[in-house]
Structure 1
């Protein structure tokens, strides 16, 4: 048994070592191909202005879960409570303080959005031009530039380590960058068929866009 555990540990070590030397594109394609669903935690900050004197917002944090294609629940718990949930056809945005739900058709809009990178289909290169972004902060970075004109994001950077995404930088056309850090990622958890079904909260105002 000890010999089996040692072999398993060695195999895991070699696998991680392989990922450590793999390019960001190789790591990300491997992650996409092997991950049909995942969940984890995130911290998000907004950065405005120049690199010399940037203004950084109060961090927002929460949890996420997704299943390809196009199903996800992105939950903000601090400093405010908000849920973005997609069931594959519609996107529901729920603001708990206002008790308000906005419903949007998911459609093709997901294709060139940041959500498509983690939550969309495997055909990323259809909507994004992918290239290596170099090493920074101990991560290998992948650069994704949307091909479509119908997106407010100019560039998306993804930082990977050991075959998992640990960070994203979303740069928009207004000089603002959303910086996300991921942790406690669990690949392919058991999810039920109703995991992404949104239930309208009692008494909530509903707006359809």
Structure 2
């Protein structure tokens, strides 16, 4: 059986960060959460999120992800894959997103390059970040604080006990048509990434530590011994 791992970093088709790393492997989904801010419990989703972004330079925690396919005719949803792991990030553009289950894969960026390590294949694929973060989910998570440069932000409808923020990329060549961020008590607890192919990546978060101490070389990628390295630029 062919193994599949899903993750989502960038959504710009011109940079095609969602190109297959190998047959059956596609980068598709990513996000994170932050510690509770009680004083923002009654604030709007947009107010909560802006406070979260400006007050959070770095974070670490656990994530779980589901890739859901929506049948256009019946509007029914079917979970096609699930995964889980840990993350750590530092703005702007530095992160380590580690899939632990069902298979191991690491997506790591040092602010200059993105490294995708497939443990099964002992293979590393590299990509220059450049402007690739742009109008993508990763720009919200790991980019600068100037979100409204690349996204149209507005209040969404409350659901599942969360206040939702809607983020629509201003660029027309992005993979994701819609990004939803669910907040409660001042923190993002969920994220929905919808594409034009009827797929939705659902993310939830727990055990998050806000602004943890980081070592100087925290995000420096070290190529595993014997690994093949491919440059996808």
**TM-score scaled by structure 2?**
0.81
What is the CA distance between 1:21 and its match in structure 2? 1.1
Could you say which residue in structure 2 is the equivalent of 1:83? 106
**CA deviation map 1:123-174 (0-9, x unaligned):** 0000100000121111111000001123100010001111111100000111
- 1:201 alignment partner, one of 197, 200, 224: 224
How do 1:45-194 residues align onto structure 2 when only pairs under 5 Å count? 45-50=66-71, 52-194=75-217
d(CA) in 2 for partners of 1:150, 1:108: 13
**Larger helix share, 1 or 2:** 1
- The 3-state SS of whatever aligns with 1:22 is coil
Q: Number of residues paired by the alignment?
A: 195
What is the CA distance between 1:58 and its match in structure 2? 3.4
Alpha carbon RMSD of aligned pairs, Å? 1.3
- The 3-state SS of whatever aligns with 1:115 is helix
**CA deviation map 1:49-87 (0-9, x unaligned):** 237421102320001100000000000000010000000
- Give yes or no for the alignment of 1:23 onto 2:23: no
- The 3-state SS of whatever aligns with 1:192 is coil
- The 3-state SS of whatever aligns with 1:59 is strand
Could you say which residue in structure 1 is the equivalent of 2:61? 40
**TM-score scaled by structure 1?**
0.90
What is the CA distance between 1:102 and its match in structure 2? 0.4
**Which structure is richer in relative contact order (CA contacts within 8 A, separation 6 or more)?**
2
Q: Which ranges in structure 1 are unaligned for 5 or more consecutive residues?
A: 1-12
- The 3-state SS of whatever aligns with 1:57 is strand
- Which deviates further from its counterpart, 44-53 or 108-117? 44-53
